Amino acid sequence: MPARHKCQEIKGLASELLGRFLEGHDGAAFCFACLAAMLAMTRSEVIDAADRLRSAGEIEVREGRCANCGRSNVVVCGSVDSDRR
């Protein structure tokens, strides 16, 4: 498998992991540091994945309180589409 293809696959997987995680925590918001720890990814991988999902309109990145560490921070949550409820 060509290296470039594999790299893209991993990036796609990271955003898929992040998307699924947020979906499983319906509406909860988490900071990048906690997401990185919980998903076993680096902070930059989480930021990159969040960026992709945000561009796709699947998640929201905003100021808020992290559901895991309780700190006010830039948080990521998956409750953008209200027509799912």
Residues that bind Zn ion (CB under 5 A): 31, 34, 66, 68-69
Shortest distance in whole angstroms from residue 23 CB to Zn ion: 18
CB of 60 to Zn ion, least distance (A): 16
Closer to Zn ion at the Cβ: 18 or 66? 66
Burial of 57: CB neighbours in 10 Å, binned 0-12, 13-18, 19+: exposed
Give the span between the Cα atoms of 75 and 62, in whole angstroms: 6
**By C-alpha distance, which of 44, 31, 26, 40 is closest to 71?**
31
Which is closer to Zn ion, CB of 68 or CB of 79?
68
Task: Indicate the residue among 7 and 69 with the shorter CB distance to Zn ion.
Answer: 69
Containing H/E element for 15?
Answer: helix 3-24
Shortest distance, CB of residue 72 to Zn ion, whole angstroms?
A: 10
